[in-house]
């Protein structure tokens, strides 16, 4: 039996209705790209709209989500972590159990199927942690696309295992040496490739950012996370959860979990990378510490200097190390529907160990941010309350980072 909605919710317009036709979430989103890309993004929008309503496309997507990705991912009650925190019951949405080890594959698969429908032969992608690159390289192998992944040189060093995985899958990994040599520069480079090769190339963006329709389309491909979690918690507990927690880099795993619950009386928490602390300036907390601006095709919150130049960011987790965030999150922040907060590198590391030791589940450092926040939140809640945290990925890729932080040479 689900809890009745708050009175106000039923009188409000649905929060799930956006974006508008121009791709806007309030003042955010839109299309801010050079004219050369305006035609291609419009073609993409039209193709996506068609596939979204096409039963064959949806059936093919559902079949692969089930048989290839392994969906639905389990909703797991973390009993020992719950006992440790002495508060709300903590459920983990196990996106780490998906094929390739993170939520990223939901979106990569959807876009690859769309690319196939559009007759493209080449997939390109940007990647930070390497998870989206691996997911794209994987679906490229699955469908027989050529695949090129752009990755900042700095990230290639800290995610060496994923670089090798992509190569094994047949992808070409191109090191990006411009700017800060991280995710944002990889995105710049992928956009440049796309402009030049738009006739045969599909750009698989890895998060809910970029020009319209990307933020909407990537959200839709990840919305299965929240739709499943909603059904799973209803059947396990007979009611909706009290709170959801997810880490926010670009925001895809978070919006994927949140979207099905936007109109419900459920508190939503997005956790950004606090790095070495907000005061240090070394962080990637665009929503918490940034301001509105335009980058990578959309208007959103950005980390930038006084002159509007994009700042270098820092996080122990490459997947959160991004100076922007998806425009839907910018809007959800402004209307107060989601609370955005930060977790530092060292708090994330502690949570990495806590989950590993208490549950035998090694989280990605990105997901460890959400776990750390949950461990602060749970003790403030009653034992009969429920939190669902999105365990967006598994931690194998981060073992070297964790070890080197502890002074261990592997």
Ligand X SMILES: Cc1ncc(COP(=O)(O)O)c(C=O)c1O
The residues binding other proteins (CB under 8 A) are 22, 30-40, 178-179, 184-185, 188, 191-192, 195-199, 293-297, 302, 304, 306-310
Residue 126 is among the residues annotated as catalytic for this protein:
yes
**Binding track, positions 362-391, relative to ligand X; x by CB under 6 A:** --x-xx------------------------
Q: What is the widest separation between alpha-carbon atoms in the chain?
A: 58
Please report how close the Cβ of residue 181 comes to ligand X at its closest, in angstroms: 16
- Residue 51: other Cβ atoms inside 10 A: 19
How far are the Cα atoms of 23, 186, 197, 381 from residue 211, in angstroms, in the given order?
8, 16, 18, 39
CA dist 147 to 47, 63, 125, 409, 410, Å?
21, 23, 8, 33, 31
Distance from the Cα of residue 255 to its chain's centroid: 7
Coil, strand or helix at 214: helix
Contacted entry of other proteins, ligand X, none for residue 253, CB cut-off 5 to 8 Å set by kind: ligand X
- Check 73, 95, 104, 228 and give the catalytic one: 104
Q: Which two tokens stand for residue 105?
A: 């594959």
Least distance (Å) from other proteins to the CB of residue 294? 5
Among 392, 398, 401, 402, binds ligand X (CB under 6 A): 392
Interacting positions 169-208 with ligand X (CB under 6 A): 207
Record the tokens describing residue 384, joined without a space: 């009969």
Between residues 252 and 344, which has the closer beta carbon with respect to ligand X? 252
Q: Using the rule CB under 6 A, which residue among 97, 148, 240, 248 binds ligand X? A: 248
Nearest to 379 by CA among 243, 266, 234: 243
Within 8 A by CB and 6+ apart from 353, the residues are none
Nearer to ligand X, 88 or 287 (CB): 287
What sign for the dihedral angle of Cα 22, 38, 171, 311?
Answer: negative
User: Catalytic: 392?
Assistant: yes
Q: Which does 188 bind (CB under 5 to 8 A by kind): other proteins, ligand X, none?
A: other proteins
- Structure tokens given for 266: 């459920």
Binding segment for ligand X (CB under 6 A), chosen from 15-23, 63-71, 115-123, 126-134, is 126-134
Rounded Cα distance between 148 and 406, Å, is 34
289: helix, strand or coil: helix
- Adjacent-strand bridge partners of 361: none
Q: How far is the CB of 56 from ligand X (least distance, A)?
A: 28
Please identify, among the stretches 8-16, 50-58, 109-117, 127-135, the one whose residues bind ligand X according to the rule CB under 6 A.
127-135
- Residue 32 binding target from ligand X, other proteins, none, CB below 5 to 8 Å by type: other proteins
- Count of other CB atoms within 10 angstroms of residue 197: 15
The whole-angstrom separation of Cα 256 and Cα 236 is 20
**Would you count residue 23 as binding ligand X (CB under 6 A)?**
no
Partners of 152 in beta bridges: 176
Catalytic residue among 73, 84, 95, 126: 126
40 binds, among other proteins, ligand X, none (CB under 5 to 8 A by kind): other proteins
Smallest gap, in angstroms, from Cβ of residue 293 to other proteins? 5
DSSP label at residue 316: S
Which 288-327 residues touch ligand X, going by CB under 6 A? 319-320
Select the binding partner of residue 241 from ligand X, other proteins, none (C-beta < 5 to 8 A, by kind).
Answer: none
Whether 322 contacts 183, CB under 8 Å: yes
Binder of residue 1, out of ligand X, other proteins, none (CB less than 5 to 8 A by kind) = none
Nearer to other proteins, 242 or 304 (CB): 304
Active-site annotation holds for 292 = no
**Which residue bears the tokens 């030049």?**
196
Q: Which residues bind ligand X (CB under 6 A)?
A: 102, 104, 128-129, 131-132, 207, 247-254, 319-320, 364, 366-367, 392-393
> What residues act catalytically?
104, 126, 392
């Amino acid at each position: 039996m689900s809890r009745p909605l708050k009175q106000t919710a039923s009188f409000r317009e649905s929060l799930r209705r956006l974006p508008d036709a121009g791709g806007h979430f309030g003042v955010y989103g839109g299309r801010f790209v050079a004219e050369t890309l305006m035609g291609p993004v419009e073609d993409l929008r039209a193709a996506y709209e068609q596939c979204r309503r096409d039963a064959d496309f949806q059936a093919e997507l559902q079949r692969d989500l089930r048989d290839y990705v392994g969906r639905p991912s389990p909703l797991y009650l973390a009993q020992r972590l719950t006992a440790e925190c002495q508060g709300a019951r903590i459920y983990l949405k196990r996106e780490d159990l998906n094929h390739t080890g993170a939520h990223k594959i939901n979106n990569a698969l959807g876009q690859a199927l769309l690319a196939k429908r559009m007759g493209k032969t080449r997939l390109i992608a940007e990647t930070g942690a390497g998870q989206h690159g691996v997911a794209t390289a994987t679906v490229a192998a699955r469908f027989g696309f050529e695949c090129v992944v752009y990755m900042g040189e700095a990230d290639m060093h800290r995610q060496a295992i994923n670089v090798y995985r992509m190569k094994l899958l047949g992808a070409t990994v191109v090191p990006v040496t411009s700017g800060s040599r991280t995710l944002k520069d990889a995105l710049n480079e992928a956009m440049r490739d796309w402009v030049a090769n738009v006739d045969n190339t599909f750009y698989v963006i890895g998060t809910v950012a970029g020009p319209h329709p990307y933020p909407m389309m990537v959200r839709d491909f990840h919305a299965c996370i929240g739709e499943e979690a909603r059904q799973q918690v209803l059947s396990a507990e007979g009611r909706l959860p009290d709170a959801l927690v997810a880490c926010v880099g670009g925001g895809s795993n978070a919006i994927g979990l949140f979207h099905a619950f936007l109109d419900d009386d459920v508190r939503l928490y997005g956790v950004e990378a606090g790095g070495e602390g907000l005061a240090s300036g070394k962080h990637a907390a665009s929503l918490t510490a940034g301001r509105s601006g335009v980058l990578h095709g959309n208007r959103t919150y950005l980390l930038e200097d006084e002159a509007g130049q994009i700042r270098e960011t820092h996080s122990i987790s490459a997947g959160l190390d991004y100076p922007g965030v998806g425009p839907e999150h910018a809007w959800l922040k402004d209307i107060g529907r989601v609370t955005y907060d930060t977790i530092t590198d060292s708090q994330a590391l502690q949570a990495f160990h806590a989950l590993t030791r208490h549950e035998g589940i090694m989280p990605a450092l990105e997901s460890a941010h959400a776990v750390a926040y949950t461990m602060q939140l749970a003790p403030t809640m009653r034992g009969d309350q429920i939190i669902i945290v999105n365990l967006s990925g598994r931690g194998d890729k981060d073992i070297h980072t964790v070890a080197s932080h502890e002074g261990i040479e592997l």
